Amino acid sequence: MKIIHAKDYADMSRKAANIISAQVILKPDCILGLATGSTPIGAYQQLIKWYEKGDVDFAQVSTYNLDEYRGLSHDDPQSYHFFMRDNFFNHINIDLSRTHVPDGSNTDAAAACAEYDRMVAAAGYPDLQLLGIGNNGHIGFNEPDDHFSAGTHCVDLTESTIEANSRLFDNIDDVPRQAYTMGVQTIMYARMIVIAASGEKKAQAVRDMCFGPVTPSCPASILQLHTNCVVVADEAALSLCPEA
């Protein structure tokens, strides 16, 4: 696990975007695993700027997102389908038919998850997987548990995750209580993982991820075992790390 130090959120975003753009330039038809939430928005904005300058071309790129809320249609403004179009896809030259997000509108959880697993496996898994980390150490929507998950599955969101995500909704009661998420095993199949973290609220989770025991009580800790994992974090997020 390599740790890249950033000064602040803007610096973290540029450094993460640098790694992603390098992947696309080196392999124009690469597969990117993408994340949602507030953490990656800055990286997406930087990539959009570089695309507009002609520095990076997404025409042949395919993407697979980590997760989606269960029960939301693709056009729901709170869905991750909408999030990705609004924050990234609509501003670059990616072919939307090459973009994939779990189908939250399919209330048959077993069918929706099995189909997404099939698609990700058929594609050959991401060349680069971008992750954020939750305050409780979750990656995707893989919450702390007594075991590491395998494939895509339906999860009950913890109260801490619901509270953290409520800032994006009008009311905390509007936050879905379930989501479909890639499993930890699926995430680990990516050939490279970039995990971005910013802010003091993430400091304990980042410390546990990088320096704590590998345990499903901190799902991100499994990344210590990945052969090509890069942590891009700012000073506040690294403030509790002994070697930061």
Other Cβ atoms within 10 Å of 220 Cβ, number: 30
Residue type at position 51 = Y
DSSP string computed for 129-146? EEE---TTS-BTTB-S-S
Q: Please, which residues have CB within 8 angstroms of residue 7's CB and are 6 or more apart in sequence?
A: 234, 235
| Catalytic, out of 65, 67, 68, 208 | 67
| Catalytic, out of 65, 136, 142, 165 | 136
DSSP string computed for 141-202? TB-S-SS---SSEEEEPPHHHHHHHGGGSSSGGGS-SEEEE--HHHHHTSS-EEEEE-SGGG
Q: Is 136 a catalytic residue?
A: yes
Distance (Å) of CA 45 to CA 142, 171, 192: 26, 27, 21
| Catalytic, out of 65, 81, 117, 138 | 138
DSSP string computed for 17-36? HHHHHHHHHH-TT-EEEE--
The token pair at 4 is 């890249």
| Catalytic, out of 68, 143, 208, 234 | 143
CB 220 within 8 A of CB 142: no
Q: Is 138 a catalytic residue?
A: yes
Q: For strands 178-181 and 193-197, give the pairing.
A: unpaired
Active site residues: 67, 136, 138, 143
